Chains A and B, each alone.
Chain A
Amino acid sequence: MIDYIMSCLSLLNRVSEIESSKDIIGRLHCQSSGVICPLHGVMLLNELFEDTATLIVGAPECVYYPQVGTLIRLDNPTLSGIYTYVMDENDVVFGSADGLKIAAQAVLEDPEIAALFLVSSCVFELIGDDLRAISADIANALGKPVFPVHTSNYDHHCPDYFKAIERMLEAIAPVLSKQETIPHSVNLLGRIFHGNAKGSLRQSELGAMLEKNGVTINMEFPSRVRLEHIKQLTAAELNIVTDRVGIRLAKIMQEKYGIPYVLFESTFSHQTIEETYLSIGRFLRVAWQDEVSRLSAHTKERISEVSCIVEGETIIAGCLPPDPFQSVAFLSKLKMKPLVVASACLSRGSEEAIANLLKAGEDPYVIHACEREPMEEALKTLRPRFYVGHAPHEKVSALGIRHIGCFMAEPEHLGFRSIDNFLLRLESAAMQTPAEKGCD
């Protein structure tokens, strides 16, 4: 058994061997599961738009599974607004444009539906039908907006469902038109969609800071909304992009309507949070430097306090957000010993984090985030003191490992408070006696 486990680990690459996302798969050249298809994001976002429909075009299984997901998630799935067009071999050989136009027309005949997202998937993209032209034709014929959304799972630029959400938000930009600016107002663009995360960005530290300093939150987007209200987005003075899914829309709004944006994502870098707050302050003419400095100093102090408690402790970690390599680099900054990091792909900032890890003398194994078996084996064999990530709590605790849920999995985990919150959970887990359960 030990041989088997050790050979399980021997199939993994170490951080020092990761040059591209493909290296994360390891030496078996394939993986026992993968990241869920981008169409999952389409399904999630569709739920937030009250009066639009979504027509997904693809192979039978590509459209079957999102519909099953809708059934599971919604009380009344027949009201979901998701329609599917099932491609067959004829569509592949002769193209699907004609059939798709008829299908879209049938959907848009419903007077309750104000617009349509026309969403492609792998097979459609591969055969090269012109989604944009088909959408334009349908829109012209029916007088309702049709938003083309390109998603294909094999596309390097669309590796996961967050990217599909980003593309849907970008696709909706044509309905925007310039509105009168509300002084001292912001939009919060993008939100965490991990693990069905609920909650509002208004409850975050950022939301509280804005409110306290007299800044109006014009819109939190995406949130449950009707199409006509989306126009109101351009009334804001500044866009604060609180998750990467909102970045493309923010860029378009900057280009077309001159609304600047600031990126304020979940992060373990208190310097980045401080700089971002100050940047927002400059845009909105808010003098919150002292308060921001005070919060930053407090977090810095907490990092140093908790570091003394967890120094030298072993940990296995990997979940979003933030980028797992960045999170593990933060753990090494706390002087912990990361043994394994789980990630699905490299993202912006991963390279720097990897360099920092190696500089700190740490070279943990890398497991693909969706590979359950190697992670279970790693937990059993390496027996770290702590584990951060998704897993049944009882199973992890039974191994004598302290399980600390996720890093920052809620929308309100934004700002210094998100770091403080994690440190608090780590600290309380460290203080636990082995017999105690439930650190999260």
Chain B
Amino acid sequence: MSSYCRTCRAELPAQARFCGKCGTASRSHARSVVARGQQERSEVLRAALAFGWVCVGTFVAMLVVASFVGDQDPWSSVLWDAAGMAMVGLCAAGIRGSWRESMPLGLSWQWLVAAGIGAAMSMVFGIAYVGVLSGGHREPSELPGAPVIVAVVVLAPLFEEWLCRGVAWRAAAAMANPQAAWLLTSILFAFLHGLGGNYLLELPHRAFAGLVFGWLRWRSGSLVPGVVAHALHNAAAVLQFGG
């Protein structure tokens, strides 16, 4: 069935999107373009909301746990921190799609090797950076207690990788592209560690580690290499620097 151009009233062939005489888009095509644009805008804004919630929600959860639990019971602090981050991640993941989609878990031995190399690179950078900051002077430190080891070596890699390279990665990729997601999640990862007390001093080596772990996530398509690299990095940091 032919229709007519709404501008010059020329007859439009069937399935034509534009008028051949004046170039005006047909009514149906114009509507579909608008609908597509609105859908894209909605997806981008939801992705930005999820990304922002990961940042803000993590800060809020850490501050709330630190305020109400404090240092009274290390295990309580660890568990509440984990619970807080889980809530943040589930909420953020639920904003865009299912939470299961935020945890790709493929695994291959090549990527495990790459994870070890990545952990070594980030550790070397971290040691060099801390050495420069401290001027080469560092007091010997002792091993922390079991709660801190579990929190730093086991729980932190799991939750941080899921939040940054799982939930936030998916949101950032929806906002832009995988390359931008790699950069954005590294930036997020670096700033999330600033609450530890060293503020912006944490940025450089955390950002480098974020880039390494993010590259593993990007190329492997799975969270597992990043989690392994992060756990190895943290274990080495605990041995080197203590709690």
A pairs with B: no
